[in-house]
Amino acid sequence: MQQAPIPTIEPSNPNVLRWDDIGLTLIHEFITKGEEAAMIEAFHARDPAKEGKRRISQHFGHHFDYTTFGASETHFTPVPPYITDFLPRLPIQSHLPDQFTVQYYPAGSGIPPHVDTHSMFAEALYSLSFGSAVAMQFRMSGPNDARKMRLPKRSAQNEKNHTESPAATINNNANAPGDDAIPTPDEGQQLRSWELVLPARSLLLMTGPARYGYTHAIRPRKTDVIDGQTVPREGRYSITMRSVRRRDEIGCDCAYPGVCDARIREEMALLAASRGEDDASLQE
Ligand SMILES: [Zn+2]
């Protein structure tokens, strides 16, 4: 594991850390402790299952519509005030998120390395952490990731699950022993990975390479090393915020075709077409 790259600290606000060449911004203390406590209370008021042993997800805003492959205009869950209240403070105001997934992660749980679907969501991806800190692992994607995303059955399933509910993908991966699609980064890839501590109440913004080219993950383990100290993990909450692309906006021309779902679909279509031609020539 490498050390995280050194951030640039915003001169006007030392809570804002930026890695401009990667496309990462981390804002410490983005919400207050009071807001954090209110969020946790609101989250559990909505979900009676308060037991801290299992993952809980709540979805707000526009749902994903599998018939139009875009944002559903009819299936919408009102966004609670504890989210709408901080939207005016997001660093990019020109394109605010309209889809929100609030999740509770029991202490010690992880998320396997993945790249969020490119084509269905606008560039800016946000993750607000609260309740507890966690270390997130970043790694530039490589041939292994590209290969995994092209496993026919697997990639379709991943995409659907991930778009619909990130937790479903996570559970599938974690509970499938012997499945050769489980990420097994080779040594070279492992060397390039590094962790960034996301403190409670911090906001992470991913754009550019961090959004399109890097995988992000949370290693399942009981502790994190924060400022040189081993700290036990506690239950963590996160709000993933995305902007769902509308019909004409769906697509991607990023610089990372290896892990780009739009490119993979094009490849598959070309492959299917060439197979069709082969079949046709055989019949002649
Ligand atoms: Zn892409």
Spell out the per-residue pLDDT of the chain, length 284, in tens.
677 899 999 999 999 999 999 999 999 999 999 999 999 999 999 877 665 678 899 999 987 666 666 667 778 899 999 999 999 999 999 889 999 999 999 999 999 999 999 999 999 999 999 999 999 999 999 998 999 888 865 444 444 444 433 333 333 333 333 333 444 545 455 558 999 999 999 999 999 999 999 999 999 999 999 888 999 999 999 999 999 888 788 899 999 999 999 999 899 899 888 887 776 666 65
Residue 156 confidence (pLDDT): 46
Report every protein residue that has its C-beta within 5 angstroms of ion ligand 1.
118, 252, 254, 260
Q: Cα–Cα distances in Å, from 126 out to 15, 22, 87, 143? A: 16, 15, 11, 26
Residue 22 Cα, ligand 1 centroid: separation in angstroms? 16
Cα of 142 from ligand 1 centre, angstroms: 14
Q: For residue 36, with 0-12 CB atoms within 10 Å meaning exposed, 13-18 middle and 19 or more buried, which class applies? A: buried
The rounded Å distance from CA 34 to ligand 1 centre is: 38
Asked whether 62 and 244 are in contact (CB, 8 A), the reply is yes
220 vs 137: CA distance, rounded Å: 11
The rounded Å distance from CA 265 to ligand 1 centre is: 11
Distance 164 CA to ligand 1 centre (A): 19
For the chain, domain boundaries:
8-283
Distance CA 251, CA 240 (A): 21
Q: How far is the CA of 95 from the centre of ligand 1 (A)?
A: 19
User: Under CATH, what is the fold of the domain 8-283?
Assistant: Jelly Rolls (2.60.120)
